[in-house]
Structure formats: structure tokens, C-alpha cells
Structure 1
Amino acid sequence: MPCYRFDGLVPVVDPTAFVHPTASLIGDVIIGPRCYIGPGAALRGDFGRLVVENGANVQDNCVMHSFPGADCVVEQDGHVGHGAVLHGCRVGRNALVGMNAVVMDGAVIGAESLVAAMSFVKAGMVVPARTLVAGSPARVMRDLTEKEIAWKSHGTAEYQELARRCHETLAEVEPLREMEKDRPRFAGGHVTLDKAR
């Protein structure tokens, strides 16, 4: 992975975390255990500190950054969807930020909350725990159900397992010229030899 020291600060990555080789880590970045950092993610700790806590994921093409002296944090089991931008904010424990959402400086996403895809969370907004926010600008829509929180937790567990699987099986290769006969498929997150119906 591209990993850069900046003004004497070197990123820290727990050995159980997986950072994709195309993700970039710069300066004051701390990645905790069992985290997954996806392809093309840019975590630029050249002004403020960026922290991704135990079991959290920051997916493909996400951006994390902050103003000088301010932290940007994804707390334990946080889940940041493809293409999201986090700037100087805090994503609470077991919360989800949807695809292509933007969360601005000083915003706090409460524990077990969900920011809908494409939402814009304004600077300084405090999202209550266990709520759904959506829109541009985002506003609280309703409380989340236990079923929705369980769905989110299951998705995050899949990314924790993905980090482990990437350590064990991800390898750069040349593509095949044609599809092999009886090509296996992924089922439940793992390769199976069962054919598609």
C-alpha cells in the first residue's frame, strides 16, 4: 500500500487489519485491529489525526481528512460505504455512513445510527443514537428498528471476515483469457462450487 511519513509521523496499521494495496495512508493515521480499508481509499493525516477503531471499515474510494488540530474518527465497528467523504467528524460505534454520503467537520454520528446514501451531514450536526438520517442537508427521519441495527451489524461482520480472507487469499495475478468451465461462485461470502441456477 502507498504509506507515507509526513512531518515525522508514520501511519500505524494493526497487523490484523487489511489495507488494500491501492489505498493511501499519509501521516497521522491509526488503523486498529480487524479493520478493512478498501481499494482507492485516501486517508490523509497531514493536518488532523485520522483514527479507524477496532473492526471498522472504510470502503472503496472513501476519503478521510480533517482541519489542523481536529480528529476524524470511525469508532469501533463503524461502517463507511463506497465513495463516502468524512471530514473532521466522528462516526459512532456500530454506525453506518452510506455510499457517497458526506459528513462534515464537527458532526457526530451517534452510535448505531445510519446515514443514508448520498446524504450531506452539515458541519456540527449531532445525529442521535439509533436513528436514520437522510437528505441534503441530512435530517433525522426516524428511529431505527432492532432488525435494521442487526442487519447493519451483520454487514460489518462480513467486512471483518473480508479483512481476514484478504490476508489469506488476495494476490495480484494476470487475468485469465477465458472463463474456466464450472467456474465457482461466491456464496455467503465464500467460494462454492455450486453452479448458478
Structure 2
Amino acid sequence: MPCYSIEGVVPVVDPTAYVHPTAVLIGDVIVGPGCYVGPLASLRGDFGRIVMKTGSNVQDTCVVHGFPLQDTVIEENGHIGHGAVLHSCIVRRDALVGMNAVVMDEAEVGEASFVAACAFVPAGMKIPPRSLVAGMPAKVKRELGDAEIAWKLEGTLTYHALARRCLASLVEVQPLTVVEADRPTVQRSSVRSLVDTKRNASAD
């Protein structure tokens, strides 16, 4: 992976974490046990510290950065969807930040809360635990139900497994020119979409 020190500060990656070779880590970045950092993610610890705690994930094309002397922290099992931007904020344990959402300076995403896709969480906003926020600017819409929180955990566990799968088997190759007759498939996840999860819960 492209990994750079600045002013003698070197990124730290736990041996059980997986960081994709195209992700970029700069300076004061700490990636904890069992974490996953996806392709083309940028974690720039050239001003403030960036901390990914155990089991958190930062997916494809995410940007994580911060102001001087301000940490950006993703707590245990924090789940950061494709293309999201985090800047000098805290994402508490078991929270989810949806795809292409932005969480700004000194904001706090409460434990087990969801930031909806494309939401803009303004500077200083404190999101209560177990809350769904959405919009530009983001507003609290309602409390999350147990089925939604369980769905999120199941999705995060698939990223724990993905980190292990990548450490065990992901290698750079040249593409084939034809499809093999007995072409294998990758492991299939049992995680359903949130829409399906809620539909099935209401049917029970």
C-alpha cells in the first residue's frame, strides 16, 4: 500500500487488519485489529490523528482527514460506507455512516446510530445513540429499531470476514481473456438489504 511518514510519524497497521494496496495512509494513522480499509481510501494523518478501533471499516474511496490537534476516530465496529468523508469527527461504537455522506468537524455520530447515504452532518452536531439522521443538513428522523441495528451488525461482521479473506487470498493478477467453463464464485454473504430486512420483520 502507499504508506508515508511525515515529520517522522509513521502509520500503524495491526497485522490482523487489511488495507487494500491502493489505499493511502499518511502520517499519524492507527488502524486497529480486524479493521478493513478499502480500495482508493485516503487516510491523511498529516494534521490530526486518525484512529480506527477494533473491527471498524472504511470502504472504497472514503476520505478521512482532520484539523491540527483534532483526532478523527472511528470506534469499535464503526462502519463507513463507500465514498463517505469524515473530518475531525467521532463515529461511536457500532455506528454506520452511509455512502457518500459527509461528517464535519467536531460532530459526533452516537453509538449504534445511522447517517443516511448522502447526508451532510454539520460541524458540532451531536447525534444521539440509536438515531437515524438524514438530509442536508442532517436532522434526526427517528430512533432505530432492534432489527435495523442487528442488520448493521451483520453487515459489519461481513467486513470482519472480508478482512480475513483478503489477508488470506487477495493477490494482484492479470485478467483472463475468456471465461472458464467451470468458473468458481466468491463467497456469498447472507446479508440482505435493509429494505428486505424491514419487510421481513414487518411480515413476522
TM bucket normalised to smaller: over 0.9
> 1:187 Cα shift?
4.7
Q: Where does 1:146-157 land on structure 2 (aligned, <5 Å)?
A: 146-157=146-157
Q: Which runs of 4+ in 1 moved over 3 A?
A: none
Matched residues in 2 for 1:113 and 1:24: separation? Answer: 27
Between 174-183 and 84-93, report the one with greater CA deviation.
174-183
Choose between structure 1 and 2: higher helix proportion. Answer: 2
Q: For residue 23 of structure 1, what is the aligned residue in structure 2? A: 23
1:174 is matched with 174
Q: What is the DSSP-based 3-state SS (H/G/I as helix, E as strand, rest coil) of the residue aligned with 1:183?
A: coil
Aligned-partner SS, 1:27: strand
* Equivalent residue, structure 2, for 1:111: 111
In structure 1, what is the Cα distance between the partners aligned to 2:161 and 2:90?
A: 24
- The structure in which a higher percent of residues are strand is 1
* One-letter amino acid of the counterpart of residue 32, structure 1: G
Query: Hey, what's the Cα distance between the residues in 2 that align with 1:55 and 1:48?
Result: 21
User: Is 1:46 aligned to 2:41, yes or no?
Assistant: no
Counterpart of 1:43, as a letter, is L
Identity value in percent? 63
> Partners of 2:151 and 2:177 in 1: how far apart?
38
Q: 1:19 offset after TM fit, Å?
A: 0.3
Shift of 1:183: 1.8
1:86 matches 2:86: yes
Deviation at 1:165, TM superposition (A): 0.3
Work out the CA distance in 2 between the residues paired with 1:187 and 1:10: 34
> Distance in 2 between the 1:140 and 1:18 partners?
33
Task: Map Cα deviations across residues 15-63 of structure 1 (whole Å, 9 max, x no partner).
Answer: 0000000000000000000000000000000000000000000000000
In structure 2, the partner of 1:141 is: 141
What is the one-letter code of the residue matched to 2:5? R
Equivalents in 1 of 2:188, 2:150: separation in Å? 17
User: What do the CA deviations read for 1:122-147 (whole angstroms, capped 9, x no partner)?
Assistant: 00000000010000000000000000
What is aligned with 2:77?
A: 77
Query: Residue in 2 aligned with 1:37?
Result: 37
Paired residue for 1:99? 99
CA-atom RMSD in angstroms:
1.0
Distance 1:186 1:177 in 2: 19
Gaps of 5+ in 2: 191-204
Q: Secondary structure at the match of 1:186?
A: coil
- Structure 2: how far apart are the matches of 1:178 and 1:57? 34
